[in-house]
Amino acid sequence: MTNVVGQAISWDLNEGVIEVALHRSPCNEIGSESLEDLEQLAAALPTLEEHAHALIIYSKLDCGFCAGADLRELYSRSQQMAKADAASGVRAFLERIHHVMNTIDASPLTTIAVVHGICFGGGFELTLACDLIIADKTARFCFPELRLGLIPGFGGIPRLKRDLGNAVVRDLLLTGRSFNATKAQQIGLVSQVVADGQALRVARATAAQLAKFDRNTSAAAKKFIKPIPYDELSREIDIFCELFERPAVEAGLKKFVESTDAQPYLP
């Protein structure tokens, strides 16, 4: 299907460009609903790819690109299960989301993440599966997972390590600090920084440029320069699951979910 409207994510194919829109309130948190839509997209990609040269993923919400994993759903589901079941449920969720991320990462299309506002945790990890990130000046990136006693679990560390120097990765990961689009461009993460509200337009212009090139050549170049670190991605799931079983994580999630503090997103 070339035009799908999901509960959390929709997409359409138009003139060789697949545009994927995130639209789940409050800020595109990735839970089971978003995952199901993403899986549907991943399943549809091989067919869509036959008629496309680029994929753009963006958010329709004012808050930003994506605030990350749906921690409220994660916490409430884990509370309804025995500990062992919760751990296996988390592993199953991670394996499913990794399959989606790997599918996007390995797509022969040139993929562009369009970022404005908040781009945290799992949302940041989704952008890292893409080939290019175009951000407007409101964009803010962060891996806040360590304050919950976790590491990023949607493939973020291996992909960030693939793209950036290890010292930069350590800084972003171990401090959990957020950083703006200018910094993201300085460290080589973001390819273009544009004025507020202009990122999608620029991404479309970039996609139009890509259409001038032979599709198979672009796909070959991408495959050559962007290897997928499958072993490290698999190891990331193991480490996440080991950490998830500790009581400190449950306490951290509880604190976040029940917080009435005005600053829950500040690490």
Partner 1 sequence: MPDQRETLEEILDLAATQFKVSRSNLSPDDDFFKTLRIDSLQALSLLTRLEQHFNIELPDYEMQGVSDFRTLAERIQARL
Q: Which residues in this chain contact partner 1 in the complex, by CB under 8 A?
A: 27, 63-64, 67, 117-118, 137-140, 142, 175-183, 261-267
CB of 183 to partner 1, least distance (A): 6
Least distance (Å) between residue 265 CB and partner 1: 4
Joined tokens for residue 2? 């070339």
Of residues 10 and 265, the one with the C-beta less far from partner 1? 265
- Rounded (10°) CA dihedral 199, 201, 205, 208: 110
3-state secondary structure (DSSP) of residue 154: coil
Closer residue to partner 1 in complex, CB, 13/173: 173
Nearer to partner 1, 68 or 153 (CB): 68
Listed in sequence order, the residues at least 6 apart from 47 whose beta carbon sits closer than 8 Å to its beta carbon are none
Of 183 and 222, the one with the shorter C-beta distance to partner 1 is 183
Spatial distance between the Cα atoms of 195 and 130, rounded to a whole number of angstroms? 21
As measured in angstroms, the least distance from the Cβ of 262 to partner 1 is 4
Measured from the CB atom, the residue of 176 and 229 that comes closer to partner 1 is 176
Q: How far is the CB of 124 from partner 1 (least distance, A)?
A: 14
Q: CB 261 → partner 1: shortest distance, Å?
A: 8
Tokens of 137: 């000046």
- Tokens standing for 111? 């993929």
- The sheet with strand 192-194 has its strands ordered as 3-5, 9-14, 17-22, 54-59, 110-115, 132-136, 192-194
